[in-house]
Amino acid sequence: MQITINPELTLRTITLEDAEAVFTLTDNSRDYLREWLPWLDFTQELSDTLGYIEGCIAGYEAKTSLSLVILFRDKIVGIAGFNTINKANKIAAIGYWLGKDAQGYGIMTKTVQALIQYAFDELHLNKVEIRAAAGNTKSRAIPERLGFKTEGTIRAAEWLYDHYVDHVLYGMLASEWK
C-alpha cells in the first residue's frame, strides 16, 4: 500500500527490505528518540528490526495494524501508522516517530493527516486515537494542530527506562473530521 502526500512525501507499507534503512535511522537517532520511546534498548542490532518488521507484516495481514515507512525525498525518515485497528469498535490508534534530521519540515503533521483521511475514507472507521506522553510537547502538538479533542490523561501509562510517564489521550471522530 502507498499514500502519496506530495511530490516529496510518501507513505509505504514497511517491508523486510527496509530493515537496514530503518535500523540505521533508529541507530543514528537513538539518543534523540530515547527521550520518549521505550523500545530503543530492545533494538540493538539489525535482527531486532527484522523481528519488528515481521510483526508489522503479520499485523497488516491480520488487518489489526498498519505500519508504514515515511519517505521524504525518497529516503526513509520515520515510521507511522495504526498501532492497533479495532474493527469491532471501528477505532484505530495512530503511532509515529521521526528521525532527528527530518524534524521541522511538517512531515509528521502531513503524515498523520493522511492517516486520518485513510482511516475514515478507506477503512470506514469511526474514531482515531493518539496517545502521547504528557511531557512530549512535539508529539502532542500534532493532534492538537489537527483539531483532536483531549479525552483525558492515563496515569503512569508507560514505563520509560527508569520512570513512568502519563499519556494524554486524543480522539477524532469521523463526524468531526473536515
pLDDT band (50, 70, 90) for residue 60: very high
Q: How far is CA 135 from CA 11, 14, 131, 138, 165, in A?
A: 27, 29, 12, 9, 8
- Looking at the 3D structure of the chain, how many domains does it have? 1
Question: What's the pLDDT at 35?
Answer: 86
Round to the nearest angstrom and report the end-to-end CA distance of the chain.
24
Question: What's the pLDDT at 34?
Answer: 84
The whole-chain average pLDDT of the chain stands at 95
pTM higher than 0.85: yes
Query: What is the domain range of residue 91?
Result: 2-176
Task: Look up residue 148 and give its DSSP letter.
Answer: P
Question: What's the pLDDT at 178?
Answer: 77
Query: Helix (H, G, I), strand (E, B), or coil: what is residue 102?
Result: helix
The CATH number given to whatever domain includes residue 79 is 3.40.630.30
* Proportion of the chain above pLDDT 70, given as a percent: 100
| Cβ atoms of residues 7 and 18 within 8 Å | no
Residue 118 CA to its chain's centroid (Å): 14
